[in-house]
Structure 1
Amino acid sequence: MVDTTNPVSEIPEGSAWGYLASVDVGRIAVTSGDSPEIYPVNFCLDGESIVFRSASGSKLETLALNSRVAFEADSWADEGGWSVLVRGTATLVEDADELARVAKAPLRTWVPTVKKNWVRVVPSQITARRFAFGPEPRA
């Protein structure tokens, strides 16, 4: 039975990392001028940061101009779902030792394209919620 009195609950930040670790696709939101853009990315966690690979192009050009980003991942099934929103700063991984370490991460590209760039999102704020699905209650 779905609890219609409280179908949305907060997930503590410490637990949010476990939720993020359970999926491998999320969305990175960037701002280009006055226009927000959202890109799907496959990702993995590296400590308490998110890393993904990217080809050169508009996503990286936008991040060079404005490193403030939002990242979201979620999952759902018939009975409910969850969503984790990470606000933070994205930077290109350039240190040789760090590149060697993240290159060993269990992250493979979605599509057969060359993606030599690694991007790290360091959170400044994490919010997460769990949702219990069910019929809309009567007013």
Structure 2
Amino acid sequence: MTESPVSRLSTEDAWALLRTHEFGRLAFHLADEVHITPINYAVDAQDRIVVRTAEGSKLLGLTMNADVAFEVDEVDEHEARSVVVRGRARTLEGHEADETEELPLRPWVDTVKLNVVAITVDELTGRSFSLTRPWMHMRPEHA
């Protein structure tokens, strides 16, 4: 029997992957549409995913419907790992927002992002994929 190229990550390994990265993708609802956007993030001491955002469609969507999904991937030559989180987003204010100041949240662009949002994790799943990359073996040989 052949071993499956797909395996489940343990909860600990999934959290470790989340903690060692800083860029992921956030999926959220905005009216009747589902949006997905790349975003920088950090994991706080309460195991929440914390993001900063400016006023705009993302914040509006998170305010209108707190249900979100968040995903992080890691790929190298031999393995891909992916973690998907389902949870609920909530804007932090006052002391709660101030507590996130020490997190390593680095924006992609130099814009003001005053709103702090925390995603409480309801479900966490992780997978590891052993890559065989069959297309690599299909390349014509160069003379």
TM-score by length of 1: 0.90
Other-structure match for 1:62: 61
Separation (CA, whole Å) in 2 of partners of 1:86 and 1:55: 22
Where do 5+ consecutive residues of structure 1 fail to align?
A: none
Letter in 2 for 1:43: Y
How many pairs align?
Answer: 132
CA deviations on 1:117-137 (whole Å, 9 max, x unpaired) are 11100011000001110045x
TM-score by length of 2: 0.88
Matched, 1:18 2:27: no
Q: CA deviation at 1:99?
A: 1.6
Q: CA deviation at 1:34?
A: 2.5
Larger radius of gyration: 2
Give the number of the structure whose residues are more often helix, by fraction: 2
64-73 vs 25-34, which deviates more? 25-34
Find 1:117's aligned residue among 90, 115, 118: 115
Separation (CA, whole Å) in 2 of partners of 1:102 and 1:83: 25
Percentage identity across paired residues of the two chains: 39
CA deviations on 1:61-93 (whole Å, 9 max, x unpaired) are 011110000000111011111000000000001
CA RMSD of aligned residues (A): 1.2
Matched, 1:36 2:34: yes
Other-structure match for 1:134: 132
Q: CA deviation at 1:25?
A: 0.1
Give the secondary-structure state (helix, strand or coil) at the position aligned to 1:102: helix
Give the secondary-structure state (helix, strand or coil) at the position aligned to 2:51: strand
Separation (CA, whole Å) in 2 of partners of 1:13 and 1:89: 19
Other-structure match for 1:73: 72
Where do 5+ consecutive residues of structure 2 fail to align?
A: 135-143
Letter in 2 for 1:59: K
Matched, 1:88 2:87: yes
37-46 vs 10-19, which deviates more? 10-19
Letter in 1 for 2:4: N
Separation (CA, whole Å) in 1 of partners of 2:68 and 2:97: 21
Give the secondary-structure state (helix, strand or coil) at the position aligned to 2:80: strand
Give the secondary-structure state (helix, strand or coil) at the position aligned to 2:41: strand
CA deviations on 1:76-119 (whole Å, 9 max, x unpaired) are 0111110000000000011x222221012111211010000111
Q: CA deviation at 1:15?
A: 2.0
